[in-house]
Amino acid sequence: MTMTNAPSGTIRAALRYPDFRYLLSALAVSQVGDWLYNLALVVLVYDRTHSAVWAGLTTAARVVPVVVLGPVGGVLADRFDRRRIMIICDLARVALMLLLAAVAAAGLPIALAPLIAAAATAAAAPYMPCVAAVTPRVVDDADLPGANAARSAVSGASIILGPALGGVLLFLGSPAAAFAANALTFGLSALAVLAIKDRGVFATRRSAPGPVADSPAGLFSAGLFRGMLGELAEGAAALRQHPAALRLIGADIMCSFLYGTQTVLLLLVARQTGLGAQGYGYLFAAIGAGGLAGTALAGRASRSSRPHLVQASALACAGLPTLLLAITHWPLAAVVLTGLTGLGAILVEILTDTMLQRTLDEDVFGRAYGLALPASIAGIVIGSAVAPVLASLLGASGALVAIGGAVLAYTTLILRGGTVRDEQRTAAATAAAVVPPRPSDETVMLPVPWNPYVRMGRPGDATVVLPRQAVADAPLAR
């Protein structure tokens, strides 16, 4: 089966679109570079300091800015041309990776390494909200689940390929070579973004004309942070208007929390099942394999006439195997069950992204996504902190039961929360209650040019009522 006749909603169908292929390529090379340099960064810091504390602080320096600055990145993604934002993000990271290579090669103070890593993460804060906002514009709505599945598949593959390439570079050269290679990946990412021909897919309706919106210097103007909190509040308000989307964001956070606990508890599972020290790696590889399998199911899952059942089933696929791991002593069963948690988690992630893209107004999408993504990442951090406490209080099996039970309890919330159709009916009723302006002797109703990038709307949105005298006084088009 070729891409031209692939079923809608699949990864193959999404790859039919040239602009999406460029966007996905940009994401792929930059994410492979991220995981490549993460390994080299920890090795560099540990070799210089021989301190696990320093290594941990360096890893935290790469995570904390995402949680703290993610909402700010969402504001930028809504305020400025996204093409320019993505290229600036890539070029900033090229410069920072070259600086980090200089720290490694020239023996500069190692304290610079976590600072540069934090700056690189901060520079990337607007990137993912931009990618998520542009994706619905470069593929048809029917193929949107496949596009999101492709993005998730790229993320999963990067976790495997990035450290592998980093290990090869460390074996053949030094951390400096890995950092230089990462700089190259960001340069290639910028070129892939530039290759997207339709610049309109990057435009934001909030971009104002003038030097602030049209030049990179505008990013650093004093007016940038004017009303920042108000804009973040608008993003939060947009999420609150869609309870079904909020429930799915909660499900995604639960899956992230589960993953965070797995970073600790799978060590105990590997010992419990007799897999040994290397079994920890096998179990995490199973999570990745399950995730890749989940991307293949995303298209079919998104076409279900009962989305709330699909959402609940995906989350249950992550929670129920976690419960069963508490009583599992057979190595193969542990690998299969762990793989199922990865499958369920990736389906939840894809369904969440697709729902947000389909339901949120594009004017506020970046800010809303900039709140949802850091919340999901924070779930990983919280899970990794809670797991040791639960294990010490309840033992490994008790901790698995508690965490799996919490995930399944949230599944019941999705089932009780209603369907997307309920929300759409509520929105339709609200829209019907709004009385639009009516034409009169003093006014005239004119059509509004169709915007191909607005995929959802009401028939009433196609007209606008203007004062008749203002229309009469307007100059004729030439």
Contacts of 219 (CB under 8 A, 6+ apart): 76, 80, 88
Measured N-to-C along each axis, helices 52-79 and 365-416 cross at an angle, to the nearest 10 degrees, of: 110
Residues 355 and 429 in one domain: yes
Is the residue at 474 inside a domain? yes
Is the residue at 210 inside a domain? no
- What's residue 196's pLDDT? 92
- For residue 182, give the nearest of 195, 169, 191, 196 by alpha carbon: 169
Residues 420 and 459 in one domain: no
How many angstroms separate the CA atoms of 236 and 259, rounded? 25
Domain housing 459? 437-478
463 bridge partner residues: 447
Residues 183 and 309 in one domain: no
Residues 254 and 339 in one domain: yes
Residues 447 and 374 in one domain: no
The model's pLDDT over 143-198, given as tens digits with 9 standing for 90+, comes to: 898 899 898 888 878 877 777 787 778 777 788 888 998 999 999 999 999 999 88
Residues 406 and 425 in one domain: yes
Q: What CATH number should be reported for the domain holding residue 38?
A: 1.20.1250.20
- What's residue 285's pLDDT? 80
How many angstroms separate the CA atoms of 276 and 267, rounded? 9
How far CA 194 is from CA of 191, 417, 444, in Å, comes to: 5, 43, 43
- What's residue 467's pLDDT? 47
Helices and strands of the chain, counted as H and E runs: 17, 2
How many angstroms separate the CA atoms of 74 and 366, rounded? 4
- For residue 245, give the nearest of 147, 342, 140, 364 by alpha carbon: 364
Residues 181 and 43 in one domain: yes
How many angstroms separate the CA atoms of 244 and 257, rounded? 20
Core vs surface per residue 159-191: b (16+ CB within 10 A) or e? bbbbbebbeebbeeebbbbbbbbbbebbbbbbe
- What's residue 93's pLDDT? 94
The model's pLDDT over 465-476, given as tens digits with 9 standing for 90+, comes to: 444 444 444 444
How many angstroms separate the CA atoms of 52 and 46, rounded? 7
- For residue 266, give the nearest of 332, 330, 335, 218 by alpha carbon: 335
How many angstroms separate the CA atoms of 478 and 315, rounded? 58
- What's residue 211's pLDDT? 44
- The two tokens of residue 386 are 């809670």
Residues 32 and 174 in one domain: yes
- For residue 204, give the nearest of 192, 189, 214 by alpha carbon: 214
Is the residue at 273 inside a domain? yes
Residues 449 and 326 in one domain: no
Distance between terminal CA atoms of the chain? Answer: 50
Residues 326 and 256 in one domain: yes
- What's residue 277's pLDDT? 66
Residue 376: CA count within 13 A, CB half-sphere? 21
What residue type is assigned to position 375 of the chain? A
In the chain, the number of structural domains is 3
Residues 412 and 462 in one domain: no
Show the low-confidence residues of the chain (pLDDT under 70). 1-5, 205-227, 277, 417-478
Residues 441 and 430 in one domain: no
- What's residue 323's pLDDT? 92
Task: State how far Cα 40 lies from the chain centre.
Answer: 24
Residue 201: CA count within 13 A, CB half-sphere? 24
- The two tokens of residue 47 are 């070799």
